[in-house]
Amino acid sequence: MKSYKEALHNAAEVLAQADIEEAVNDSWLLLQYVTGITRSEYFLRPDTTLSEVQQQKFFALVEKRAEHIPLQHITGMQEFMGMNFLVNKHVLIPRQDTEILVETALELWKKQSVGVDSEQNAVGQNEILDMCTGSGCIAISLAALAKNARVSAVDISPEALCVAKKNAENLCHGKVTFYQGDLFAALNEKCKFQMIVSNPPYIPSADIETLMPEVREYEPRLALDGTEDGLYFYRKLAAQAGNYLAADGWILFEIGCEQADDVRMLLEENGFCDIFVRKDYAGLDRVVGGRKVS
């Protein structure tokens, strides 16, 4: 049987040959997944040998990764905001970029929300809505981290909601209320929110074919495709969100890095004020937000 070190070396070669960008790191993550070892255990004893079962499993998974199946579909997990989210082919794999949206929401929430007993508050005061929730990563992070927030989340896909509900049970005691349906049609007209957040599908249809195979072939098209110009969901949401926001409520979108001007304009056209754009850690435009005029 091979040692951890040999197995890693062989796996990294297989993955590099298959043009996997992070060949070494992905090999390590698969080894960790199969054996459960930590990095320090590995460095203390790199010559430990794998059991036969571990070795077979490890190289079978390396083969899968070599076919460009996303690592997260193999391990079934992705970390987001320090929590481990279950993922499968029915949900978009949570991206680190999206943490900027959550952090922006949390900062505004702190400033806006006094965190008093919701019974005494105005309509919608403590309510947050995550539209197009997918794995539930945004809604669940906010339920876990935004003080006194009551979080609702909508998705059109029942399969995605199944994943999101499991994540909510695992990560925030099921504290999110989920609704299935097409955007606001999923909700009662009388619902009001203090904040609406959304990372909707925003890739222009024609661009999907140019994405890496991991995304293009394995992530749900429903979660990627923003129609012809990529702006379909921003248009719909910007037009309708006002009806569901409490006075002074915020809408926050994650955007593709070239969409800031278009989305800003959509918010302006629909009467939002205090519009801002925030960049991600790579310096690219990533979040656009605006406030409903009271």
Q: Is 201 in the site for ligand GLN (CB under 6 A)?
A: yes
Applying CB under 6 A, which of residues 78, 113, 135, 259 lies at the interface with ligand GLN?
A: 135
**How many residues line the site for ligand GLN (CB under 6 A)?**
13
**Shortest separation between residue 101's beta carbon and ligand GLN, angstroms:** 8
Q: Are 89 and 112 in contact (CB under 8 A)?
A: no
Among 66, 62, 37, smallest CA distance to 50 is for 37
Q: Which parts of 120-278 fold into alpha helices (H)?
A: 137-145, 158-172, 213-218, 232-244, 260-269
| Least CB distance to ligand GLN at residue 176 (A) | 12
**What are the CA-CA distances from residue 130 to residues 22, 176, 242, 256, 288 (Å)?**
32, 10, 15, 18, 15
Closer Cβ to ligand GLN, 62 or 86, answer by number? 86
133 contacts ligand GLN (rule: CB under 6 A): yes
Task: Tell me: does residue 259 bind ligand GLN (CB under 6 A).
Answer: no
Q: Closest approach of Cβ 144 to ligand GLN, in Å?
A: 15
Q: Which residues pair with 3 in a beta bridge?
A: 49
> Among the candidate windows 41-49, 63-71, 91-99, 181-189, which touches ligand GLN by CB under 6 A?
91-99
70 binds ligand GLN (CB under 6 A): no
Number of helices (H) and strands (E), helices first, in the chain? Answer: 11, 9
Residue entry with tokens 């609702």: 152
Candidates 132, 195, 238, 245: give the one binding ligand GLN (CB under 6 A).
Answer: 132
C-alpha torsion sign, points 113, 107, 236, 223: negative
Q: Which chain residues interact with ligand GLN by CB under 6 A?
A: 92, 94, 98, 132-135, 137-138, 199-201, 223
